[in-house]
Amino acid sequence: MSSWNLAERSRARYRRHFLVDNSAFHVERCMSVMQSGTQMIKLKRGAKGLVRLFYLDEHRTRLRWRPSRKSEKAKILIDSIYKVTEGRQSEIFHRQAEGNFDPSCCFTIYHGNHMESLDLITSNPEEARTWITGLKYLMAGISDEDSLAKRQRTHDQWLKHTFEEADKNGDGLLNIEETHQLMHKLNVNLPRRKVRQMFQEADTDENQGTLTFEEFCVFYKMMSLRRDLYLLLLSYSDKKDHLTAEELAQFLKVEQKMNNVTTDYCLDIIRKFEVSEENKAKNVLGIEGFTSFMRSPACDVFNPLHHEVFQDMEQPLCNYYIASSHNTYLTGDQLLSQSRADMYARVLQEGCRCVEVDCWDGPDGEPVVHHGYTLTSKILFRDVVETINKHAFVKNEFPVILSIENHCSVQQQRKIAQYLKAIFRDKLDLSSVDTGDSKQLPSPQSLRGKILVKGKKLPYHLGDDAEEGDVSDEDSADEIEDECKFRLHCNNGTTEHQVESFIRKKLESLLKESQIRDKEDPDSFTVRALLKATHEGLNAHLTQHPDVKESGKKSHGRSLMTNFGKYKQKTTKSRSKSYGTDDEEDAQQPPSKEPSPLSRLGRRRKTMKLCRELSDLVVYTNSVAAQDIMDDGSTGNVLSFSETRAHQVVQQKAEQFMVYNQKQLTRVYPSAYRIDSSNFNPLPYWSTGCQLVALNYQSEGRMMQLNRAKFKTNGNCGYVLKPQQMCKGTFNPFSGDPLPANPKKQLVLKVISGQQLPKPPDSMFGDRGEIIDPFVEVEIIGLPVDCCKDQTRVVDDNGFNPMWEETLTFTVHMPEIALVRFLVWDHDPIGRDFVGQRTVTFSSLVPGYRHVYLEGLTEASIFVHITINDICGKSRQLQGLKGLFHKNPRLAASDSNPHSMRKRSLGDRILRRTASAPAKGRKKSKTGFHEMVEIKESVCEPAREPDGVLRRTARSLQARPVSMPVGRTLLGAWPPAPAVAEAAEGKESPPVQF
């Protein structure tokens, strides 16, 4: 297919450094055995082992097994394998009796985002060794690839799998009917006559009427020839069908805004990407080579320089956003899921630099880690520390913060301190760290290779000779009220196992139901509904089985769910939507007659015993509660806030909070009532300078996509420098023009075309469904004044190469924290379906013609042209503030009041979903989108436009032929979008004292 096959080159490269004792011959023998297949026992939780034939597919990209009821799902991508462990190390193996299986025949494959385990047992140790060696060999090759090699490999693999799936009878050939079916699957809407013509041109061997894989590659190239790129090449090649090195240099300088482009650099591009030997000899780049170059990582929308650390790392810690994880040990929800030490390895290698460890007293004097008072499994604290020590600095050496949630007795606290010192050793020694100023936190650079323990510290008035003392325990992440905690009480013959079993089954069914949701809609099944349903179901069960109760005391199940229900009723009465999601039970303000949670804390101060050994390990990260803060000039405090309390402080005292965050660290973590481990929106807290905004890394979705995009820049090292305006001075992030003296940025985004857009992942009819009608939505997420979105028209019946050729224009006041989110939707008469997304920080966008590859999809991309201009003077960007443009003053005032927001009815949501996409002939508008003020926006159901929101001058939405030439539309300059009205500042809320 390609003249430079990187797969073999990459394979040869990692063979040299794989395992010293494995010759190339030995590894190839392992590959052969794996592809032939081996019968192994597959262990499952709570069931007997199943005998299956496991084999490696012919392309060495997937591990498969048979028989299986779900044959298509019986596979594991080699790319998704995190690690392979030998012996009986997994939790499922530990549940088996000691003598059941020979450890030398056992191994475990950990794979996927949730570290799922595949536990296998072979018939003899030699077979186990063969599979372990072969899998590690394949994993080593993938980790050794550069981005260009990986792009080429994934493309080649995609082509092979596409061909195999289209070959229904498995004869290694495609006939014309199979080709037509493949066209439908690929969302290609071409006349059958055109498909047959290309088929005949590609069918060049003696066996006429069918395509071999090589012929299919030729057919696919013909089908994939892109008019937009061809016209672009012609415009810089003086209407020739190729570019010389000088013409390529001109294109890179003028369009791609590249500096220092040399002839040698252009010749290197030709050598790498040109497929024709004749063109290579002439040092010219033809259309196929130009297409390969434009689709390579060199022309990705993300700045390649930002794959490395490029920011100043010598500033104090408080000047950085720090990638932070919450309940790091959990693989899923907060009530039932498994705890695994491997989750620490996963998040650390993803770039996370602050991990959470919930420590509890365990048996035999060994502290354990789990989510307290729940049914989550327990793991040894020692195993967690050893895992962190092994993986903390594999990807980068910038410091790791260990957030210790200490619920242990003094005896086991001493054991915790012993393990930390014995395992981390000099990584805990901060005596040589130079801060330069006693009132200033050290920098990430000065802390390279160090681990900071975040926890409680004994008060100074106790003196150094005190071996233990009382400290505040009010900033613990375990916020569930005492009477809501899991304490199983059984009586009259009912066993603890029976009560736990019922609770587990009920919650498992509800949690599964909560996962049936749109990929972009975190609110389709809310935590509130989950708690209510659990409460009602469990109460009904306990009413029918009164013997579960214990005399004089509520049973655990009733206590837990009743109090959750009370919490729901209390918070529903006083809902605040000025800043939070509807599914955030805790993000609601209390009734005005009640004191705030911050002031209530003062009346119920909790304390705990802390030992000296553990206290002394805390140096720069002393965890303090809100009411303990005093402006005494001390450094090293970390203010811990649940999203509930942080929500109130940010809402009512944003500027003061920003000033505090210029000296100290603040950690914000999800509410304990997020039992499904959902995530809140981190943007409001980033916008006030909070450094440690902790999210549930195990929960994929919109919020984690924003977090991942935020920290992908700066080499994905987990530290991103805050804007200078947040490090010194202050401003109101909710203002209509928060930084009037600073120049703004104008983003002019030409959405040109799409490539290989698949059917929606949750499409009702799967590949048999209709060809999609795609459109692109672009969203700016940042300060409230910058939050907005716009979208293109719909292209009918074309997901393979749709053409939009539309320009969207945005003004951004603070680009340093803004994110640009590209979303592709499939429009249908009753709504729209999510196809894919890619989120990039504004500062990492590169100008010119760029491909935006959708996250998690192999070939799908959209082709855009990016221009970024400086704007001085007063901005006239659409503000998106609620009620600002209401014609009725009363309505505007009412709508701007956060307490007046009513819950949308189901009918309202259905109506909004029906009207969510621009149909042909419908006028398109730019919706004011206040992400900061209303976190509970749902991307799959965009907020309804309030009356009076200023609309853009409508652009023509008439349907254009899919094959329409790009011409001047693609290559010419687009006029700037008309200016729109500016917004005024919002009303300031009463202050909160903290």
Helix (H, G, I), strand (E, B) or coil at 754: strand
For β-strands 106-111 and 81-86, DSSP reports them as: antiparallel
Distances (CA, A) of 837 to 709, 776, 847, 849: 11, 10, 20, 19
Q: For residue 208, what are its two tokens? A: 């006429």
Helix (H, G, I), strand (E, B) or coil at 657: helix
Beta partners for 236? none
Exposure string (b/e) for 871-902, b if CB count within 10 Å is 16 or more? eeeebebbbbbbbbbbeeeeebeebbebeebe
Q: Residue 777: in which H helix or E strand, if any? A: strand 774-781
- State yes or no: is 370 an active-site residue: yes
Considering 111, 114, 306, 370, which one is annotated as catalytic? 370
DSSP string, 839-867: EEEGGGB--EEEEEEPTT-SS-EEEEEEE
Q: For residue 615, what are its two tokens? A: 């206290």
CA 68 from chain centre, in angstroms, equals 31
Rounded CA-CA distance 536/506 in Å is 11
Beta partners for 744? 871
- State yes or no: is 326 an active-site residue: yes
CB atoms inside a 10 Å sphere around CB 573: 9
Q: Could you say which DSSP state residue 268 is in? A: H
On whether the CB atoms of residues 378 and 370 are closer than 8 A, the answer is yes
Identify whether 815 is preceded by a cis peptide bond (ω within 30 of 0): no
Q: Could you say which DSSP state residue 874 is in? A: -
Helix (H, G, I), strand (E, B) or coil at 49: strand
Q: For residue 245, what are its two tokens? A: 């090195």
On whether the CB atoms of residues 322 and 706 are closer than 8 A, the answer is no
Rounded CA-CA distance 603/589 in Å is 19
On whether the CB atoms of residues 371 and 360 are closer than 8 A, the answer is no
CA 131 from chain centre, in angstroms, equals 31
CA 920 from chain centre, in angstroms, equals 33
Q: Could you say which DSSP state residue 227 is in? A: H
Helix axes of 527-544 and 556-573: crossing angle, nearest 10 degrees:
140
Hunting for tokens 């749902």 — which residue is that?
938
Considering 242, 326, 827, 851, which one is annotated as catalytic? 326
CB atoms inside a 10 Å sphere around CB 222: 13
Active site residues: 326, 370
